[in-house]
Amino acid sequence: IIAPIAWLIAIIVSIALIASGAGSSIEEGFNDGLESTQSDSPSSEAPIDPAEPSEEPADDGEARIGETLTNNDGVSVTFTSVTCGIAVAGPEFLEETAKGQFCEVRLQVQNGSDAQISLYSSDITGRIGTAEYESNTIASSFGGESFYTDLNPGLGTEGVVFIDIPADAALEYVVYRPLWSFLTDEIRVKVE
């Protein structure tokens, strides 16, 4: 039973990685202008159970954990917490062991667009310097479901994503960027 599920997950992840690679060069031009506008325009829509706002505004102009950001598709994301140093993650019988350490990224997503969106754990990545770290598909979930969910307009969900990074490293950024939408701006938040 587990082998076909793992095979299906491998196919989905491969397709997502191919789509990500094709869209990376297109997105670079769009993402350059996002950094200056992201932190200047906070979302008017609050996600489900919004996190407490930051005590002090960021002095470097970068968004922080707890801030709600909205991309050009109208999707609002709030990264509520990042906890690293986790050795094992995932549901029972499908637990994954980190090769370095897992960073648990908790987030809330609110679909403020006019169309259904598909939300994948691979839409969430971590960054350290110029290196990008993918999420672990098996360990991650949205709204108590699997690594994937559909979200209709006006609805929101919570998610938990696990990113495997080197044991001696510290995650610098967490990023939401839908792999299937090449013209969508990324949402990037600094981890402190």
Structure tokens at 173: 């950024």
pLDDT tens for residues 170-179? 999 999 998 7
133 and 127 Cβ atoms separated by less than 8 Å: yes
Counting as low any pLDDT under 70, the low residues of the chain are 13-60
Give the pLDDT score at 20: 53
CA-based angle 82:176:27, to the nearest 5? 145
Give the pLDDT score at 135: 93
Give the pLDDT score at 59: 57
126 and 140 Cβ atoms separated by less than 8 Å: no
Give the pLDDT score at 19: 55
Coil/strand/helix, residue 107: strand
Residue 27: closest CA among 106, 153, 150, 125: 125
